[in-house]
Amino acid sequence: MTNYSEKICEACQPDADPATNEEIIEFLSKNSDWSLIQSDDAKKIERIYKFKNFKDALEFTNLVGEVAESEGHHPQIITEWGSVLVRWWSHKIGNIHLNDLILAARCDQRFEKLQA
């Protein structure tokens, strides 16, 4: 079993290989709150995190921003009252890269800590 949150991100170049179907299936099977979507001609993974108010949603949004900035890899984030949608994909390759799975797992870690 792969622990994606402990893997190391690598710089993603325009010619980088996307995550394999096996990697994506393994990630989604262990992280059922994440969904695979097709949007704007690209595969993406997304999750909606639920909160009891806007303040907590905004706090989590900032934690996701810290995760993204630390790796120089940025998701789509939509913050609303009671929820935050996070969508990961690699813009350079128009697909899901291993980095996206790693950073999605790190977002889940931040969410768990925030909920504790």
For 43-80, give the DSSP string: EEEEEEEE-SSHHHHHHHHHHHHHHHHHHT---EEEEE
Q: Taking the complete model, does pTM exceed 0.85, yes or no?
A: yes
* CA dist., res. 94 & res. 35, Å (int): 17
Provide the domain limits for residue 45: 19-115
In a domain, 9, yes or no: no
- pLDDT tens-digit series, residues 61-105: 999 999 999 998 999 999 999 999 999 999 889 999 999 999 999
When pLDDT is cut at 50, 70 and 90, the band that residue 2 belongs to is confident
Element spanning 83, H or E: strand 83-88
* CB 39, CB 91: distance < 8 Å: no
How many folded domains does the chain comprise? 1
Gyration radius (Cα) of the chain, Å: 14
**How does pLDDT run across 15-39, given as a tens digit for each residue?**
889 999 999 999 999 999 999 999 9
- Kindly state whether residue 4 falls inside one of the protein's structural domains: no
| CATH code assigned at 65 | 3.30.1360.20
